[in-house]
Structure 1
Amino acid sequence: MLEINFKKSGPAKLPFFIVYRDWGLSMLGKFLAAAAAFVAFISTDCVAEAAAGKAPAGLKGALEQEAIGLLPADGMRLVSGKCRDCRMLKQGLWYFETEAIAVPRDGVPVSGYTNGVDRQADVANWAAASGGEKLAYPMLAWIGAPAIFEHAAMLPSGTRVQTADQTELDIRLAPRLATNRSYANEATAAFFSGREVRMRGAIDSSSGNDVFVARTIWPADFAFDPARLAARPLQSPADLAAFVRAPVKPARGIETRLLWERHPGQPRNWQRKPVLGFLLNGAQGDDDESLGGHFAVATGRIGVHGEWFDWAVNNFYNLDAVSEKGIVAATLPMDNYLMDLNSGQQYYRPSTMLVAVLNHERTAAAFQGGVQRVFNHLYRHDFQYRHATANCAGISLDVFDALGWRIPRRGPTAPLKSLGAYAYIAAKDVSLQSGRRIYDYLNEEQTRLLPAVAFEAAGLDLLSMVGASGTGRPLSGYERLLAGDVEAIFLVRIPQVPSSRATGSAPVFSFDEFRARVPADQADWKTVPAAVRPFPAALRDARSVPEQEPSPVPLPIAVIVAGIGLAGWLFWRRRAAPRAVSKQPAPQPEEMTQ
């Protein structure tokens, strides 16, 4: 179990009236006894705090008066992955052995999964059967640290904060992971200087003084101000991609743009309104393999003061590789997803988010309930994360597809080119698997392959469904609910936090754009090798239906090869037949007359 202690430890002190009670009664009589009792009464809280060490103002437990997306966090408890009494997937615990995670308390509903059924069918069947049932808790949420420190003002040094009660406290950054090639520096300190921040971490009192070790730092001024949102609808569908592609410029805060609202001119009372958020993280500036960016879907509520740090982000990553930044696929709070000092997206690229403000939580809760089931399948290895056919964008949009949102498809990139690309890459790398990878990239539906295309397609279709433009198709039940529930749609541009890492850029919108942005010779690419993380055989469930591995030779390639082979054989037969006749001995004249 994760032991959590937010206050400085020290030797316990007995209350004053107990220590001196007998002596007071015998030496000074009832007067001193009464005086001692009075002193004890007025100082009980002070003595207790001195015994355990007074907690700094603004410090609380990671789940105290918090939310995890649409759900109150008090339905969960904080543990580590070594938990032995958790009623959840042992496979999920294995990935978080040294991490702080939240798991459901006894008695609360928990998202499950159906054994032997693929993730798409499982979500579709669950949605059809669940109706309007209340959203269940995820089997786990990645919290990362045991404490939250809020309402703290970062002082210019970057090593101290001023707390809510005007006292000062030392802070220290969580250590940089050995595999992480960049980290916070003087530019980071300048970015946060003078700002009110909210941090996740823990108090360290080992030196005799309280020091808050910060793992996540979130600027309080990142909050939305609905009343000040500038209304700038898209003038054409291309405007959404243009917003994403806008040149990166230094910024301290977020930038917002209102695309649509149901009741223009009326007060925007969005406090506690549920949301669906579509996150598009850009390309890294120091990793050519990251130019496609990253995609995730978030659910939650807009806070009373425009806060959104507690939205639940559903982040899909490859579980079979160890991320150099410590990222693990999970549902996690927004401040962890964007602002963790090692794994936070904003420390290595800019991001864009499209937010749908809802009048009812049902469509957001349906997605969250469905995606939680998908995570259960992923942790169990019922399916694998695949960069072409089951990546962050594809898995996320598959959940919407199972619920009934048919986001218009763009088609594969280049099916015909994939045939030649397969042959060329397989021969160059002397690897059929390498050929298969390029073949899959060029044949996969673009909205499932490229995060930027997924973001654009979902955003444009959502705008069309609410009436900004016609969809031109009949709507499903889920689509009708979503179209009716949306109150407003707005964009958010989130700046990259300055650090020692190179500045990122917009993600690519096509495979051709990717090829144009990387060096022609793959040997010149900037890449980050990742260690392999094999899934233990002991954690596999024998009842699971294993996912079939794709053949290294795709069926069309096999058919073409077989066809070429058959044509060659027939050609050889046709050429060989005359030669065989000509070798027979010529008949003698007498034989011809008989």
Structure 2
Amino acid sequence: MGRTLLGCVAIGIAGFTTFANAETPVAGFKQALENESIGLLPADGFRLRIGACPDCAVPKQNLWYFQNEFIAVPANATAASGFSRGVDRNTDVARWAATPAAAQLAHPSVVWLGAPGILEGATVLAGGQTLRTANGQEIGLKLAPRLSTNRSYANAATTAWLAGRQVRMRGTLEDAGGRPSFVARTIWPADFAIEPATLKTEPLKHPTGLAHFVRAPAGEGKSIETRLLWERHPGQERAWKDKPVLGIVLNGAQGDDDESLGGHFAVATGRFGDKGDWSNWAVNNFYNLDSVSEKGILAATVPMDNYLMDLNSGQQYYRPSVMLVAVLNNARTAVAYQGGIQRVFNHFYRHDFRYRHAAANCTGISVDVFDALGWHVPKRGPTAPLKSIGAYGYVAATDGSLASGRKIYDYLNEEQVRLLPAVGFDAIGQDLLQLVGTEGMPKRPLSSYEQQLREDVEAILLVRIPQVPSSRAMGSAPVFSFDEFRSRVPADQADWKIVPVGPRPFPAVLREADLTPDDDPSPVPLPVAGIGAGLGAILAAFVWRRRARPARKAASDRRIPETADAE
């Protein structure tokens, strides 16, 4: 589960402390929370810890997943996000959003940082084993080790992709025989900056434009591509530094895992940094807590550079991504979302609800928070509810598993905006553009949250983020439908490329008595059971009639004729 042994954690902190207390030997190196932000919040309200910290005023369930990982926790327990016991996550968010407390952003209980230090302004030199710091000093560069379960990793192609580029890195500074060396866990190219002044305005020409942008070949570019869709004040200076943002992140399909063709979805909040930097935006990343990711991914609020560019768990090391960014002139809508999703994480870590690939996946959980706040993104309906019953029977019989039948039934009956990351991204983007008036106002009455969005959005832009070359196969766009998914995988499921993952059982000792019930759905859906019961009754009546016919015929001789006629 962890990537750093407890002893190494102690050494890392000790080494960091030595460097920090001395006259800084490496320009640009600092502690992970020094002069930083975590999304919308300044980092000075947090403390750097590892999950195995008895002094952290954070629920023990939240910490359990990060026992050997560097995290940020609230410095003051009273500033931490809470949650309401005994109610489901969406009811909790909706009730909380109606209180004055929602206007003030509390701190997330856990932020997964991954490393204790940051090195900024360094340049990767040819060969990938040396860095030139901001003051010209040359120090060593090492990469954090590949997880044993991770099937691919940085290679010579990665080194060539990074060579000559200025980077921001998360990791640990070591003393290698009297020479400093940085062990990098996250490497973020500085030229990923979004430069407002150079953005080119290119509105969508058709409602399908977002889908076309997502589906366009990602290529193998070195830096990001940007496209400004709309701005409130064309021609005016784009003074976006410190402007709050709401970002919708869509990660593509992996090239080596047929089960990942749906992609991944997350929502980010933060502020534009100096020179268009967005590396410290907070990304709210939901993954299955009950399995161990082969890439070491943990469900958490994480800085953007960790989310995209961690050498093991970073999304860009195994697929391309796109992002829709709403630049805001008021932080209130982003504050409300971040505060709401932090409450959901508290429910999630304690197992009030569990990750479900149809009903509660990364897209559904994220979209539900918007809905609870009042952004009612138009639904598109389930994929094929009428076909789902037949599909249930076919898959259950073919696989010899009612659970497999239930899975396909749930997929075909789930609302597509909640089910598929690409559809959720497209629906949110189209509705946002309608809210600001580019595609005609929505026909529905606007909620107060939707009205705030309409008033607060200053600009809307798209960002394409390239996949980092490595030993992993290049990824592609995610699917937009279940039929597209079926068309892209081998017809025989035995031929699918699948990455098996191990279980991560939640300790019984961490389960609390007031957990909101989250039972597994019945392996036989009610409609299927109802149809089955009906068919069973008809079949039973038919059999009974067949068996009873001789006796009834004999008895008819003793009945009056009209009874026989009625018979």
Where does residue 13 of structure 1 map in the other structure? none
Q: 1:483 to 1:8 in 2, by over 3 A?
A: closer
Q: CA deviation at 1:586?
A: 7.2
Does structure 1 conserve the Cα–Cα contact (< 8 Å) formed by 2:103 and 2:335? no
Where does residue 484 of structure 1 map in the other structure? 455
1:85 is aligned to 2:55: yes
Distance 1:106 1:561 in 2: 57
Q: CA deviation at 1:55?
A: 2.6
Distance 1:301 1:581 in 2: 83
Q: Which runs of 4+ in 1 moved over 6 A?
A: none
- Specify the SS of the correspondent of 2:52: coil
Q: Aligned partner of 2:189: which letter?
A: P
Where does residue 35 of structure 1 map in the other structure? none
Distance 1:54 1:293 in 2: 42
Distance 1:585 1:547 in 2: 57
Q: RMSD over aligned Cα, in angstroms?
A: 1.7
- Residue by residue over 1:319-357, the C-alpha shift from the partner in whole angstroms, topping out at 9 and shown as x without a partner, is 000000000000000000000000000000000000000
Does structure 1 conserve the Cα–Cα contact (< 8 Å) formed by 2:121 and 2:168? yes
Unaligned stretches of 5+ residues in structure 2: 1-5, 559-567
Does structure 2 conserve the Cα–Cα contact (< 8 Å) formed by 1:108 and 1:137? no
Q: CA deviation at 1:92?
A: 1.1
Does structure 2 conserve the Cα–Cα contact (< 8 Å) formed by 1:185 and 1:499? yes
Distance 2:372 2:462 in 1: 26
- Match among 385, 389, 402 for residue 415 of structure 1: 385
- Match among 406, 416, 433 for residue 436 of structure 1: 406
1:564 is aligned to 2:542: no
Does structure 1 conserve the Cα–Cα contact (< 8 Å) formed by 2:16 and 2:116? no
Does structure 2 conserve the Cα–Cα contact (< 8 Å) formed by 1:75 and 1:108? no
Where does residue 551 of structure 1 map in the other structure? 522
- Residue by residue over 1:544-574, the C-alpha shift from the partner in whole angstroms, topping out at 9 and shown as x without a partner, is 2221221110000000000001111222233
Q: Aligned partner of 1:150: which letter?
A: E
Which runs of structure 2 are paired with 1:287-302 in the superposition (5 Å)? 287-302=257-272
Where does residue 335 of structure 2 map in the other structure? 365
Where does residue 144 of structure 1 map in the other structure? 114
Does structure 2 conserve the Cα–Cα contact (< 8 Å) formed by 1:312 and 1:334? yes
Where does residue 563 of structure 2 map in the other structure? none
Q: CA deviation at 1:207?
A: 4.2
Where does residue 156 of structure 1 map in the other structure? 126
Q: CA deviation at 1:530?
A: 0.3
- Specify the SS of the correspondent of 2:98: helix
Which runs of structure 2 are paired with 1:200-239 in the superposition (5 Å)? 200-205=170-175, 207-239=177-209
- Match among 242, 253, 256 for residue 223 of structure 2: 253
Q: Aligned partner of 1:269: which letter?
A: A
Q: CA deviation at 1:89?
A: 1.1
Distance 1:480 1:163 in 2: 47
Q: Aligned partner of 2:309: which letter?
A: M
Q: 1:303 to 1:571 in 2, by over 3 A?
A: same
Bigger mean CA deviation after superposition, 464-473 or 492-501: 464-473
- Residue by residue over 1:188-240, the C-alpha shift from the partner in whole angstroms, topping out at 9 and shown as x without a partner, is 01111101000000012264432110000000010011111010000111111
- Match among 420, 427, 438 for residue 450 of structure 1: 420
1:426 is aligned to 2:378: no
Q: Aligned partner of 2:146: which letter?
A: R
Normalising by structure 2, we get a TM-score of 0.94
1:537 is aligned to 2:523: no
Q: CA deviation at 1:582?
A: 3.5
- Specify the SS of the correspondent of 1:556: helix
Distance 2:17 2:348 in 1: 40
Normalising by structure 1, we get a TM-score of 0.90
1:240 is aligned to 2:191: no
Q: Which has the larger radius of gyration?
A: 1
- Specify the SS of the correspondent of 2:99: helix
Where does residue 527 of structure 1 map in the other structure? 498
- Residue by residue over 1:106-147, the C-alpha shift from the partner in whole angstroms, topping out at 9 and shown as x without a partner, is 265110011111000000010011355310001110000000
- Match among 475, 478, 488 for residue 517 of structure 1: 488
Does structure 1 conserve the Cα–Cα contact (< 8 Å) formed by 2:16 and 2:117? no
Q: CA deviation at 1:53?
A: 7.5
Q: CA deviation at 1:54?
A: 4.7
Q: 1:7 to 1:561 in 2, by over 3 A?
A: closer
Where does residue 139 of structure 2 map in the other structure? 169
- Match among 80, 99, 103 for residue 133 of structure 1: 103
Where does residue 155 of structure 2 map in the other structure? 185
Equivalent residue pairs, number: 548
Where does residue 397 of structure 1 map in the other structure? 367
Does structure 2 conserve the Cα–Cα contact (< 8 Å) formed by 1:127 and 1:403? yes
Does structure 2 conserve the Cα–Cα contact (< 8 Å) formed by 1:69 and 1:310? yes
- Match among 350, 356, 375 for residue 386 of structure 1: 356
Q: CA deviation at 1:585?
A: 11
Distance 2:373 2:145 in 1: 41
Where does residue 37 of structure 1 map in the other structure? none
Bigger mean CA deviation after superposition, 205-214 or 111-120: 205-214
Does structure 2 conserve the Cα–Cα contact (< 8 Å) formed by 1:294 and 1:393? yes
Distance 2:87 2:177 in 1: 54
Q: CA deviation at 1:584?
A: 5.8
Does structure 1 conserve the Cα–Cα contact (< 8 Å) formed by 2:210 and 2:426? yes
